[in-house]
Amino acid sequence: MNGLMMDYPLTLQHMLWRVERLFDKKEIVTKREDTLHRYTYADLSGRVAQVGNVLRRLGVKPGDRVATLCWNNYRHLELYYAVPCMGGVLHTLNLRLFPDQLEFTVGDAGDSVVFVDKTLLPILDKIAGRMPSVRQIVVLNDGGPLPPHKLGELLDYETLIAAEKAECSWPAVEERAAAAMCYTSGTTGNPKGVVYSHRSQFLHAMCVLQKDSLGMSESDVLLPVVPMFHANSWGIPYAAGLAGTKLIFPDRFMGDGQVLLDLAEQEGATMLAGVPTIWLNLLGALEKSGRRLPKVHTVICGGSAIPRSLMEGMDRVGLRMLHAWGMTETSPIGTVALVRSWIPPEEAFNARLKQGVPVPGVEIRIADITTGEELPWNGEAFGEIQCRGPWIASGYQNDADPTKITEDGWFRTGDVATIDPDGYVTIVDRTKDVIKSGGEWISTVELEGAVMAHPKVLEAAVIGLHHSRWQERPVAYVVPMPEYKGQVTAEEIREFLAGKVATWWLPDEIRFIDEIPKTSTLKFDKKALRNTAEPIAEDAVPSPVQGGSARE
Ligand code: AMP
C-alpha cells in the first residue's frame, strides 16, 4: 500500500517561492569598497527573475553548467537562485585554486557561461584561451573601467538585467536533477566534482535550520564568512531563503577582522559562520580594540578543528562557538557539537570542542583503517569515518575516484576519528596525515592543538617524516605570534608539551616558519610542507623511547 501524500518535488524553486512571498522586508547587505549595498528579499526576488530571463536569452538549457567566480555578495546570491531554478547547474569556481586546477574544473564540468566579479577578472584572465566549453563571460561590475584582460568580448551583468522583466516563467525542474557543483580542494591530484541535486540541497537546507543543527531562523542576522565559492557556503544561502534570515555579505573583505567586526556590529549580527583562521583574526581585532559583539549568540565554525586556545579566547570575549564537521561531499553538514542534555556542566567545554554528533539525516560509522572492519563507539577505537544520507555524495563528476564508495554504499571520508558512547565524533586526523611511529598511531591534529595552546604560538602544523628506526616521527612547524618572533625556542615548546601528550608523541624537531602554507580553503597544506621538508636530523635529537614497557 502506498501513502496518499503528494509527490511534491523538493526543488530550490520552493525557496524562491518563499523569497518572493514571505520576506519582503528582510534585508540583504553587502560590503562595498567604501559603502554598503542594501536591498530587500523583494528586490532579490525581482532580480532573480531578471537573471532567469537573462539565462534564457543566453541560451542556457536544462542541465547546462553555469559557473560563478565570485565573492560573497548579493549578485552571487541571485545566481545561486536563478541558475538552478532555470534548470541549470550552478558551478561555484574556487578562486583560490591554481590556474591549472581552475582550468581543469571548468573543463571537467563543461561550463558554458561564466559569471565573474570584476575584482576577480585577473584570476579568470590567467586561463584566457583555455576554456573551450565557455561561450560567454558576464562581468558583475560596480561601475568603472575593467582591468586589462585577454578574455575577448565580455557581457555586462547590470546591462543584461536592465533589459529584462522582473517576472520569469520558471521551467518544471525534477528534484533529482543536478542543481549545483563544487570541486574538492584537490590537495592530492586533480579536484573532484561533487554534484548536488535539488533534492539534496532542499533536505540539507531544512537540516541547517534545525535547532540541533546550525539553528538559523527568521529572527537571526547572519554574517557568512564561509565562502559561497566552496561547499555551498555550508547551505546558508538556501537555508536563508527558507527562513528569511537577514544576510550580511563581506564580499572580498572576508579575511579582514576589523571589517568583519564593523559589519557585525553595525548590522546587528546574531550569528557568524566561518573557518577557524577567520576567527583568529576577529579575536585579534576584538582583543586589540576592547570592543565586543553582545548580540552574537553563535559563531559557527568548521572546516578544520577548533584549537582549544581559540575557543577559550572566544569564550573570554563572550562569543560562543558552535563546532561543526563536514566536507564538500557531505553538502557539507555532517556533525554538530551541541552539548547534549545529559553532559555534566564541567564537561560541556570539552564536548563543544569535539566535532559533534551526526545531524538528523546523516548516519555515521567508523571503520578500521587497515581491515575496514566496523569499530565500536567507545571513544578509543579510531578508524575512518564513513557516512551515508540524502545529502552525501554517491560519486563524483566523470566517475573520478570510484573507490570512495564502499561496497555496501557508504561514503569513505578519509577522516580518522573516534566516536564516544554519547555519539560524539572526535576527528583524530586525515588518513593521509596520521603518523605511524613504531607501529603506533600519533594524531597530528591533537599534537597541533597542544602546540597551539602555547601562549607564544599563533599556528602549528605537524607532519610525519621518515625515520630509520620508527618508520615515521612527528615534526612540528610553528609560527610564533608576531610579538614573539625569534623569541620562542624549541626547548620551551617541548617543555610545555611534556605531560600534555605522551612522551613518544613529542616532535623530533620543531621548526619555526613565517607562515603555514594553506590550501585553497584555508586549511593547513601538509602536502606542501611534506614536499619541501628537510629530512629529520636523526642524530641531533634522540626520539623518545617507544614500545614495550617504556611506552606511556
Ligand atoms: P572540504 O571538502 O574542503 O570542505 O574539506 C573537508 C575536510 O575538512 C574534512 O574531510 C576534514 O578533514 C576537514 N574538516 C572539516 N570540518 C572539520 C572540523 N570541524 N574539524 C576537523 N576537520 C574538519
Helices of type H across 456-512: 490-497
304 CB under 6 A from ligand 1? Answer: yes
521 CB under 6 A from ligand 1? Answer: yes
The residue segments making up the domain with residue 465 are: 433-532
109 CB under 6 A from ligand 1? Answer: no
Name the region of 233 (left: φ>0; alpha: ψ -120 to 50; beta: rest): left
136: which 3 cell numbers?
Answer: 560567454
328 CB under 6 A from ligand 1? Answer: yes
Look up cell 512571498; give the residue: 21
As a whole number of angstroms, the distance between CA 117 and CA 227 comes to: 14
Q: Is residue 328 part of a domain?
A: no
Instruction: Determine which residue's CA is closest to atom 7 belonging to ligand 1.
Output: 327
Q: What is the pLDDT of residue 112?
A: 98
Coil, helix or strand at residue 540: coil
Instruction: Determine which residue's CA is closest to atom 10 belonging to ligand 1.
Output: 327
The answer to whether the beta carbons of residues 238 and 78 sit under 8 Å apart is: no
Coil, helix or strand at residue 471: strand
Q: Tell how far the Cα of 415 is from the centroid of ligand 1, in angstroms.
A: 8
pLDDT tens digits, the chain, 552 residues: what are they? 999 999 999 999 999 999 999 999 999 999 999 999 999 999 999 999 999 999 999 999 999 999 999 999 999 999 999 999 999 999 999 998 889 999 999 999 999 999 999 999 999 999 999 999 999 999 999 878 999 999 999 999 999 999 999 999 999 999 999 999 999 976 667 899 999 999 999 999 999 999 999 999 999 999 999 999 999 999 999 999 999 999 999 999 998 999 999 999 999 999 999 999 899 889 999 999 999 999 999 999 999 899 898 999 999 999 999 999 999 999 999 999 999 999 999 999 999 999 999 999 999 999 998 899 999 999 999 899 999 999 999 999 999 999 899 999 999 999 999 999 999 999 988 888 989 888 788 989 889 999 999 999 999 999 999 998 888 999 999 999 999 999 999 999 999 999 888 888 999 999 999 999 988 778 889 989 999 999 998 776 666 656 543 333
As a whole number of angstroms, the distance between CA 5 and CA 249 comes to: 39
Q: What is the pLDDT of residue 468?
A: 86
Angle ∠(351,353,357) on CA atoms, nearest 5: 55
> How many Cβ atoms are within 10 Å of 417's Cβ, its own excluded?
25
222 CB under 6 A from ligand 1? Answer: no
Coil, helix or strand at residue 124: helix
323 CB under 6 A from ligand 1? Answer: yes
Q: Tell how far the Cα of 448 is from the centroid of ligand 1, in angstroms.
A: 15
Q: What is the pLDDT of residue 519?
A: 84
When divided into structural domains, the chain yields a total of 1
Q: Tell how far the Cα of 294 is from the centroid of ligand 1, in angstroms.
A: 29
65 CB under 6 A from ligand 1? Answer: no
As a whole number of angstroms, the distance between CA 15 and CA 28 comes to: 16
φ/ψ of 221, rounded to 5, equals: -125, 115
Q: Tell how far the Cα of 305 is from the centroid of ligand 1, in angstroms.
A: 8
Q: Tell how far the Cα of 56 is from the centroid of ligand 1, in angstroms.
A: 37
453: which 3 cell numbers?
Answer: 595552546
Q: Is residue 444 part of a domain?
A: yes
305 CB under 6 A from ligand 1? Answer: yes
427 CB under 6 A from ligand 1? Answer: yes
Q: Is residue 467 part of a domain?
A: yes
Angle ∠(499,504,509) on CA atoms, nearest 5: 95
List residues with catalytic annotation: 184, 329, 436, 441
CA-based end-to-end distance of the chain:
61
pTM of this structure: 0.89
Q: Is residue 519 part of a domain?
A: yes
> How many Cβ atoms are within 10 Å of 294's Cβ, its own excluded?
8
**Pick from 297, 132, 310, 304: nearest CA to 231:** 304
- Looking at the CA of residue 414, tell me the nearest atom of ligand 1: 10
Instruction: Determine which residue's CA is closest to atom 8 belonging to ligand 1.
Output: 303
The answer to whether the beta carbons of residues 463 and 442 sit under 8 Å apart is: no
**Pick from 230, 200, 184: nearest CA to 400:** 184
User: What residues does 363 pair with on adjacent strands?
Assistant: 388
φ/ψ of 117, rounded to 5, equals: -65, 140
The answer to whether the beta carbons of residues 93 and 105 sit under 8 Å apart is: yes
Coil, helix or strand at residue 271: strand
Coil, helix or strand at residue 206: helix
- Looking at the CA of residue 445, tell me the nearest atom of ligand 1: 21
73 CB under 6 A from ligand 1? Answer: no
Q: CA of 407: how far to CAs of 383, 411, 412, 432, in Å?
A: 17, 10, 11, 21
Look up cell 562557538; give the residue: 321
Helices and strands (DSSP H and E) totals, the chain: 15, 25
Task: Give the neighbor-by-neighbor strand order of the sheet with 246-249.
Answer: 36-40, 27-31, 246-249, 221-224, 271-274, 298-301, 321-326, 333-336, 357-358
Q: Which of 97, 278, 325, 330 to mutate to test the pocket of ligand 1 (most atoms within 8 A of CB)?
A: 325
Q: Is residue 458 part of a domain?
A: yes
Q: Is residue 477 part of a domain?
A: yes
330 CB under 6 A from ligand 1? Answer: no
Q: Is residue 98 part of a domain?
A: no
Q: Tell how far the Cα of 545 is from the centroid of ligand 1, in angstroms.
A: 33
Q: Is residue 184 part of a domain?
A: no
Q: What is the pLDDT of residue 469?
A: 86
Please report the beta strands in 129-242, taking only residues with DSSP state E, as ranges in sequence order: 136-140, 155-156, 178-183, 193-197, 221-224
Q: Which of 275, 523, 524, 527 to mutate to test the pocket of ligand 1 (most atoms within 8 A of CB)?
A: 523
185 CB under 6 A from ligand 1? Answer: yes
Instruction: Determine which residue's CA is closest to atom 9 belonging to ligand 1.
Output: 327
**Pick from 181, 272, 266: nearest CA to 223:** 272
- Looking at the CA of residue 427, tell me the nearest atom of ligand 1: 21
Q: CA of 547: how far to CAs of 18, 440, 462, 465, 468, in Å?
A: 62, 9, 21, 19, 15
Q: Which amino acid is at 483?
A: E
Q: Tell how far the Cα of 431 is from the centroid of ligand 1, in angstroms.
A: 12
Q: Tell how far the Cα of 59 is from the centroid of ligand 1, in angstroms.
A: 37
Residue 471: give its domain's CATH number.
Answer: 3.30.300.30
As a whole number of angstroms, the distance between CA 77 and CA 37 comes to: 13
